[in-house]
């Protein structure tokens, strides 16, 4: 019954959303936010609205794109490394002390801002930003090339061709897949919201971010790269299916974070680490 109500709520909300120009980066993050919000119970959603001072769920979903706007500003340039983590080719997996040095990376950022989202001592504006960062970075970590290889900068220096158009592989995953297959993000959110939710879903714990990091890196190694620079329909179709799976998974996991931190569960933990 709850799943049916969730789908109906999401469909009604999306129906009145203003149309926006299609692009994977903003649209993908809107989808993740919308999916997560649609999976929250009334009490958790109300707590999130109260914590952030957001007017409604629409503002919360749109906030998921704020971190990209912020990092493009002079004041927010420091946050750019938080959108990804690059791992050495040949490494067995993510290692915090090696891969997440300096100002941090997407894995440590999720932990930091989930903690801040749940901190009732912070002002609403700070918690609004914490939600925006948590939503955005949870989306980022589920895009395989945001947990890619250091030597090609997460596919930014791996060049491919789609229907005669040259681009880098990272752009394919960030922009082209959704533009090519489903440019209406609201329709995509409705489609993914209709998927059955896992009956055995577990409560979120900070240590799970390590698993998410390694899962995405494994996808980068095994499924994100083509065998040839000229991409064929089979690779594009398989990549699109994977992209949809990852968007849906990001939405589920973001909802779990919101339930955990707004329900009073502790989120304070050391940065996730693979071996130290």
Tokens for 193, please give them.
């919201």
> For 16-142, where are the alpha helices, taking DSSP H only?
24-39, 42-52, 57-63, 66-71, 96-99, 106-117, 124-141
Q: Would the pLDDT of 2 be above 50?
A: no
The per-residue pLDDT for 202 is 76
**What is the per-residue pLDDT across 9-64, written as a single tens digit (0 to 9) for each?**
454 444 433 333 333 479 999 999 999 999 999 999 999 999 999 999 999 999 99
Q: Supply the pLDDT for residue 10.
A: 52
What per-residue confidence (pLDDT) applies to 183? 86
197-220: per-residue pLDDT in tens?
Answer: 776 667 999 999 999 999 999 999
Q: Give long-range contacts, CB 8 A cutoff, 24+ apart: 73-80.
A: 78/103, 79/103
pLDDT tens, position by position, 113-160: 999 999 999 999 999 999 999 999 999 999 999 999 999 999 999 999
Q: What per-residue confidence (pLDDT) applies to 200?
A: 61
Instruction: Please provide the average confidence, as pLDDT, over all residues in the chain.
Output: 88
At residue 193, the 3 state secondary structure works out as: helix
Task: Please measure the distance between the N-terminal and C-terminal CA atoms of the chain and give it in whole angstroms.
Answer: 45
- pLDDT at res. 149: 96
Specify the pLDDT at position 265. 41
CB atoms < 10 A from the CB of 47, how many? 20
pTM over 0.85: yes
Residue 179: which pLDDT band, with cuts at 50, 70 and 90?
Answer: confident
């Amino acid at each position: 019954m709850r799943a049916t109500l969730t789908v109906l709520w999401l469909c009604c909300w999306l129906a009145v959303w203003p149309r926006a120009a299609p692009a994977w980066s903003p649209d993908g993050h809107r989808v993740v936010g919308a999916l997560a919000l649609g999976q929250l119970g009334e009490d958790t959603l109300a707590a999130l609205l109260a914590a952030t001072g957001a007017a409604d769920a629409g503002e919360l979903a749109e906030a998921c794109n704020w971190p990209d706007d912020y990092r493009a500003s002079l004041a927010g340039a420091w946050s750019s490394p938080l959108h990804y983590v690059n791992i050495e080719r040949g490494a067995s997996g993510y290692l915090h002390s090696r891969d997440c040095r300096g100002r941090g990376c997407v894995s440590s950022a999720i932990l930091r801002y989930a903690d801040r989202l749940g901190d009732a001592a912070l002002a609403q504006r700070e918690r609004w930003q914490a939600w925006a960062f948590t939503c955005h970075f949870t989306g980022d970590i589920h895009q395989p090339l945001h947990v890619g290889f250091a030597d090609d900068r997460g596919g930014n220096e791996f060049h491919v061709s789609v229907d005669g158009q040259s681009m880098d592989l990272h752009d394919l995953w960030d922009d082209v897949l959704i533009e090519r297959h489903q440019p209406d993000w609201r329709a995509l959110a409705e489609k993914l919201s209709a998927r059955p939710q896992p009956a055995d879903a577990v409560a979120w714990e900070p240590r799970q971010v390590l698993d998410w990091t390694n899962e995405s890196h494994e996808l980068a190694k095994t499924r994100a790269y083509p065998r040839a620079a000229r991409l064929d329909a089979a690779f594009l179709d398989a990549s699109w299916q994977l992209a949809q799976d990852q968007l849906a998974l990001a939405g589920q996991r973001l909802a779990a974070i919101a339930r955990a931190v707004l329900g009073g569960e502790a989120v304070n933990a050391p940065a996730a680490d693979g071996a130290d």
